[in-house]
Amino acid sequence: MARKINTINYSNRLDNDLKLFIKKLQENSDHHTANDITKIRNSYARTCDLFKSEHPPGIKIETTSVTSKSKEINVRIYKKNSNLKAQILYAHGGGFIMGGLESHDGICADICDLTGFKVTAVDYRLSPEYPHPAAFEDVLEIYKSLNKEIPVIGVGDSAGGTLIAMLANELKNTASSLKGQVLIYPYLGGNMESGSYLTHAEAPCLTTNDMKFYLECWNHNQDDSVKIPLNEINFEGLPPTVVFTASDDPLNSDGISYVKKINSSNGKAIHIEGEHLVHGFLRARNIVEKAKISFAKITQSIIILSQNEWISKQTLRSL
């Protein structure tokens, strides 16, 4: 029997500044793209441009490529100073079918500015042209190219969070494991017939049906050579993990489940929920107060991980 999908009046739940953000997003999105990948990508690029911000002063940016297995993987590197406590490997969101170096350029520049760490953003191959595990392979190859004398913290949002969590699992219990991972509203493979996938099935900015379409594009071959994070059996040996979710997001349950599995395996993981925020709130970090606070917590978490310290909700609550 099909589970009942809840109907929620989001206009009564969300703050006015977030509702204005969503309204602008929806007014400039193409709602008639159906399953046309080109139109979906063009619409996404247009909405990303809407909220583009100036780079912070003092950020040096270089776009280059890494040759691996007879292919070129583009990367964009952000540097502010010579802080060598850590570096960041960033994997962008976009449902595995959209996004790239431009869509998350401002986000990466701001993370570099606020942490002082070098950020390497990966322009991984997109589906459906390059289905799973192509994107993961690209993230792994760029990780291998980094100077490991500087510890690496993996950071990713949405689909990028999936790829970083996969990378963390691939590297666990090795000499080259990640120093930490920070996942922002990630897809991690939860049950789509329960939890937030039902409660927030029709949420603004991402619906459960959207997610099902993205997954069909990404893994239409049902390749299981690299497991989706929550499908793993062993959660021991993962690096210190911070998962940020949005309360009004179909993917919220994934982050909660992942953190529980790590902690029950004697690992270190913490879940920080953005109350009454929606999927994609990074885009609103400069104009929505709650998104701004969550972004400050994200960058502070990265800094704390770099210092070999652990994070408490009380510490982040003070921000």
Whole-number Å distance between alpha carbons of 97 and 99: 7
3-state secondary structure the chain: CCCCCCCCCHHHCCCHHHHHHHHHHHHCCCCCCCCCHHHHHHHHHHHHHHCCCCCCCCCEEEEEEEEECCEEEEEEEEECCCCCCCEEEEECCCCCCCCCCCCCHHHHHHHHHHHCCEEEEEECCCCCCCCCCHHHHHHHHHHHHCCCCCCEEEEEECHHHHHHHHHHHHHCCCCCCCCEEEEECCCCCCCCCCCHHHHCCCCCCCCHHHHHHHHHHHCCCCCCCCCCHHHCCCCCCCCCEEEEEEEECCCHHHHHHHHHHHHHCCCCEEEEEEEEEECCHHHHCCCCHHHHHHHHHHHHHHHHHHCCCCCCHHHHHCC
Q: What is the pTM of this model?
A: 0.95
Q: Where does the pLDDT of residue 254 fall: very low under 50, low under 70, confident under 90, or very high at 90 and above?
A: very high
**Buried-exposed string 249-275: b where 16+ CB fall within 10 A, e elsewhere:** bbbbbbbbbbbebbeeeebbbbbbbbe
CATH number for 18-317: choose from 3.30.1360.70, 3.10.180.10, 3.40.50.1820, 2.40.420.20.
3.40.50.1820
Condensed to tens digits (0 to 9), the pLDDT of residues 93-136 reads 999 999 999 999 999 999 999 999 999 999 999 999 999 999 99
For position 82, what pLDDT does the model report?
Answer: 75
Condensed to tens digits (0 to 9), the pLDDT of residues 133-175 reads 999 999 999 999 998 899 999 999 999 999 999 999 999 999 9
* Percent of the chain predicted with pLDDT > 70: 95
For position 307, what pLDDT does the model report?
Answer: 93
